[in-house]
Structure 1
Amino acid sequence: MRVTTSTCRCVCCRGWRSATGSACTCRRCGNAPIHGSDRLVLIVALVALAVVLVFAIVRPAGWSEAVVAVPAAAVVIAVGAVSTADASAEAGRMLPVVGFLAAVLVLAKLCDDEGLFQAAGAWMARGSSGEPRRLLGQVFLIAAATTAILSLDATVVLLTPVVLATVRTMRVPARPHLYATAHLSNSASLLLPVSNLTNLLAFSAAGLSFTRFSALMAAPWVAAVAVEYLLLRLLFRRDLANVHAENPTPTAQRPVFVLVVLGLTLVGFAATSFAGLSPAWAALAGAVVLGVRSLAQRRSTIGGIVHALHIPFLVFVLALAVVVKAVMVNGLNHAAADLLPAGGSLVALLGIAAVAAVLSNVVNNLPAVLVLLPLVAAGGPAAVLAVLIGVNIGPNLTYVGSLSNLLWRKLLHDHDEPTSVREFTALGALTVPACLVVAVVALWAGVRLIGV
């Protein structure tokens, strides 16, 4: 007698398992019987995810990503692709992450209001002495630090215009310096949990303290940034050749107070983690201190601070998590799990990072990390951090790899600075594989040296 294998779904909690013959038991709740899979539900969930991602990439008329994501989440709940209880639980799991992100976004905006990025532009111009190669080094230092401490959004939205203004003032080729901000907004976001929304998600899944997370990711961060620098300097060697450049000596007030507050906020991140509290409290404290000063000196406004929260984007993140959950519980988890290597060996970690990088360029890095983290969490922190390396470095390959890439391109177009899809992809093809390998090797070595 032939035994058939099928995929089936639990009536009560919609949990999935692969069943042999007619003997099925739900992995999640243990109930039986299990009914046959509803392909229409899976199709609806996949279509909903595709529509959300396309809209987020195109953003017609500048509309927020939430305009489509929220209705899509409602649709997948209505058709039963995900239960109301599961959707609520997923949104509740994401709320602390979203709160942390909101605090960091406000902190970055207040730093800009206090003149931090204008001071950075003046420092880059003076420190370069009119030499394009030295300017690239200055851009790398500032962009890597900005991305790590204030998140990739600060690098794209706040630093990139400063870099563009600096290269135009100095009359040097803009391409190497602008591509540096684009690439570092992704690859330099490995260091701290606050550096990227993907990091916040991985931080939650890995179960590591703030300091342990940062210690494990320090070597991959240094390795990735160093390789990016060497490759960009090599690839743009003609643009960086010694040319007669303007060497302005712009002046800017030293933002001592801002730098002190940022330093104390970083200490607060570690302190709250040791105390068992969310690091969001440290970010909030830093934002409050800067906010009170900036409002009192009329450098900021209440409206500007509220706008910096990017509330529609935060809502989009919550709705996207629900849509991804619907796709996962209806079968994508099994398909994705089959692609992922098991174990913590160097080969396995390289495989996990590669899958994460490829998936990021297929569905964008935010959905990719939401899909992959539950599948690798059982493999321990090393597997989670390998996913993070893939979804942070991988997006440098294509514009659709991350929303920050699209925002970077839009910003340059708004400033009449041309960009090229072909050139962006060619640079990514040359830099992403090398950065992935060195970062994963550094992670593997760090895990064996300091443990998890």
Structure 2
Amino acid sequence: MDLRDLTVVRAFEAAATDHRLVVAAVAIFAVTYAFIATEKVHRVAAALGGVAAMTVIGLVDADSAFFDRETGVDWNVIFLLFGMMVIVGILKHTGLFEALALWAARTSRGDPRRLLALTVLVTAVPSPILDNVTTVLLVTPVILQVCARLGLAPAPYLMTVVFAANIGGMATLIGDPPNIIIASRGDLTFNDFLVHSLPITVVLIAGLMLLCRFLFRRELDEPTYNDVADIRPAVAITDAPRLVRCLVVLAVVMVAFSLHHTLHFDPSIVAMLGAGAMVVVSGATPEEFLAEIEWTTLAFFMALFVLVGALVEVGVIGDLGAMAADAMGEHELLASTVLLFGSAVVGGFVDNIPYTAATVPIVDDLVAASPNDGSGSPLWWSFVLGADLGGNTTAVAAGANVVVLGLAARAGHPISFWTFTRYGMLVTASSLAVAWVYVWLRYFVL
């Protein structure tokens, strides 16, 4: 065998090895995703198992997992989440969120329709600065208390909490985990979300009030016990001076988020500085604020980044992005429509966090090939809207849904998967219709 024949043989062997690696990586990712979607195995265990398998076949090492920007952990996302968890954990101990819910109960004066509208507001207003799971964990127990005092069935109000949290989280970069992932990849700023995502969020929240009033019209006709006179929201505030100091820090953090490009600070740095300042002004002990950190969520994100990075390493993500860009051609409206509705459909039946992490590199390639690249691309915002709104579709589409249904069952008011899904699909379908009109008008007509 001469040198040319040997070179050809080695080339074929290398190609075969690469093909086997691609097949193995896709198979590992598919199995891991199936375990996450079906919840047969805890999602953190499934994700870490997938990373271990990718390591065994040689696609993951310390450099690719922890130091490579394209294939490793996105530390900006991790530390942004960590910083905000510290801030929220300290605010939680001041009683602020419970006071807001009690205020809603008192202001409703026992009127179910007014209580439903206030439930939307009390949930949606903090959602842009809290993650959805934290929001519902704070609001749900108080809603259960209020419904018990008024003699109301809590299911309509609890489902409304979920819908409002998932929609309200669209408004800002930090409001929903998919936003953080998309913003990091697309280099979208906090102000970009205020300009592009906040307006449609306000419209959808207003529409949600009307829609829920229609969907739950029978339940809202139930008689109530107007036992709200002795509700005192102020008693929920455990330390008023501490709360004032914390709110000042929170206000500064929000301003810094909006000016982070001018200040040359990444959002993750703003969140970490804000967390440090909050610890100092509140005098919180490590036991107080570290107990509120969702370590499992952080571990899940880290494992997801490494899993998707392995697909990037073997070229799967790049090939899919190129194929999608070729198929899109000049049809940007079609691509935006497919992203909006496709993300909602897929994200409605599996957790929208792993879906977003797996899809965001493909969308990045689509944006690069589109006429309108950068933060003004309709593709980025169609992706944001679809991924976030899809979280309302089924009982397992977002973490907030699972948490609320678990708390409801524990309190003796179970909401079945199909009961939630029946209402959730209507909320999602109507929200998507309005969102598509917004995308069409804003980016293709006006």
Say whether the fold is shared (TM-score over 0.5): yes
| Alignment partner of 1:353 is 2:334 | no
Partners of 2:97 and 2:139 within 8 A in 1: yes
| Alignment partner of 1:67 is 2:6 | no
| Alignment partner of 1:421 is 2:417 | yes
Mapping for residues 320-335 of structure 1, pairs under 5 Å: 320-327=304-311, 329=314, 331=316, 334=319
**Distance in 2 (alpha carbons) for counterparts of 1:387 and 1:323:** 21
Q: Which amino acid aligns with 2:58?
A: G
Q: Deviations over 1:84-136 (max 9, x none)?
A: 65434256551111100111112111111011112112211111011011011
**Counterparts in 2 of 1:365 and 1:346: CA distance versus 1, 3 Å:** same
**Counterparts in 2 of 1:293 and 1:276: CA distance versus 1, 3 Å:** closer
**Deviation of the 1:383 alpha carbon:** 0.9
Q: 1:393 pairs with 389, 396, 415, which one?
A: 389
Name 2:94's counterpart in structure 1.
114
**Deviation of the 1:362 alpha carbon:** 4.3
Name 2:358's counterpart in structure 1.
371
**Counterparts in 2 of 1:137 and 1:308: CA distance versus 1, 3 Å:** same
Name 2:271's counterpart in structure 1.
283
**Deviation of the 1:387 alpha carbon:** 1.0
**Deviation of the 1:294 alpha carbon:** 3.7
TM-score under structure 1 normalisation? 0.82
Name 1:305's counterpart in structure 2.
289
| Alignment partner of 1:318 is 2:302 | yes
**Counterparts in 2 of 1:93 and 1:71: CA distance versus 1, 3 Å:** closer
Q: 2:190 pairs with 201, 205, 210, which one?
A: 210
Partners of 2:129 and 2:174 within 8 A in 1: yes
Q: Which amino acid aligns with 1:252?
A: P
| SS of the residue 1:96 aligns to | helix
**Deviation of the 1:304 alpha carbon:** 3.2
| Alignment partner of 1:431 is 2:427 | yes
Name 2:120's counterpart in structure 1.
140
**Distance in 1 (alpha carbons) for counterparts of 2:264 and 2:329:** 30
**Distance in 2 (alpha carbons) for counterparts of 1:432 and 1:418:** 22
**Deviation of the 1:412 alpha carbon:** 2.2
**Deviation of the 1:447 alpha carbon:** 4.4
Partners of 1:49 and 1:324 within 8 A in 2: no
TM-score under structure 2 normalisation? 0.83
Name 1:7's counterpart in structure 2.
none
| SS of the residue 1:312 aligns to | helix
**Deviation of the 1:35 alpha carbon:** 4.2
| Cα RMSD (Å) | 3.0
Partners of 1:216 and 1:447 within 8 A in 2: no
**Distance in 2 (alpha carbons) for counterparts of 1:307 and 1:427:** 34
Partners of 2:340 and 2:383 within 8 A in 1: yes
Partners of 2:321 and 2:361 within 8 A in 1: no
**Distance in 2 (alpha carbons) for counterparts of 1:190 and 1:223:** 12
Name 1:16's counterpart in structure 2.
none
Report the identity percentage: 26
Corresponding pairs, count: 414
Q: Which amino acid aligns with 2:357?
A: L
Partners of 1:147 and 1:153 within 8 A in 2: no
Q: Which amino acid aligns with 1:306?
A: L
**Distance in 2 (alpha carbons) for counterparts of 1:280 and 1:411:** 31
**Distance in 2 (alpha carbons) for counterparts of 1:287 and 1:59:** 35
Q: 1:161 pairs with 135, 138, 141, which one?
A: 141
**Distance in 2 (alpha carbons) for counterparts of 1:44 and 1:211:** 37
Partners of 2:150 and 2:224 within 8 A in 1: no
**Distance in 1 (alpha carbons) for counterparts of 2:329 and 2:139:** 39
Q: Deviations over 1:308-347 (max 9, x none)?
A: 2222321221112222333454646645775685657444
**Deviation of the 1:270 alpha carbon:** 1.1
Which structure would you say has the larger RCO, counting Cα contacts within 8 Å and 6 or more residues apart? 2
